[in-house]
Amino acid sequence: MKVSYATQVFSHQMSRISKSGIIQSNEYSLDPAASDTAELLLFMDTPFDSLNGHNVKCESSKPLKGGVREDTGHQQYWSETIKILKTFKFMDPRRKVFVQIPSPKNLIHTLKGMIYLCKV
C-alpha cells in the first residue's frame, strides 16, 4: 500500500467518521463491532503524524505533528508505540494460526531508526 493512501485510511478524521457511524442508529449506522477498527485507525494516525511532521510549530490537538526536538516527546511516544506494535497479532483465516505481517514490523523498524537518528 502506498504511504499516501495509508495516511488517508489511518486518519483521525476517518476514525471519527467510523465512530460517529457506530453511534448513529439509522439504516446507515455501522455495526458496534466496528468500534475496534475505529480505535485502530485512531491509534495508527499518530505514528504517521509523528513521522510526517513538517512544521516547527504544530496544532495543539496534534502535538506530534510538529518537528522533532528533545522537548516534543516524539522519542518517548515512539518507544511506547513500538511496545504496542510488537503485540499485534493477525489471524490467517485459512490456516487458523497467528501470522506476522510486514507492515507493523516495518513500522517498528522505522520508529527504531528515528529514535537512533535523534540520539546521533
Instruction: Tell me the C-alpha distance between 1 and 20, whole Å.
Output: 26
Contact, 76 vs 48, CB < 8 A? no
Contact, 41 vs 11, CB < 8 A? yes
Q: What is the pLDDT of residues 31-72, one digit of tens each?
A: 667 677 777 877 888 888 888 877 777 777 778 888 888 888
In the chain, how many H helices and how many E strands? 5, 2
Q: What is the pLDDT of residues 69-84, one digit of tens each?
A: 888 889 999 999 999 9
Instruction: Tell me the C-alpha distance between 98 and 107, whole Å.
Output: 19
pLDDT at 1 over 60: no
pLDDT at 101 over 70: yes
Dig out the grid coordinates for 62 from the structure.
496534534
Q: Which amino acid is at 103?
A: S
Q: What is the CA radius of gyration of the chain?
A: 16
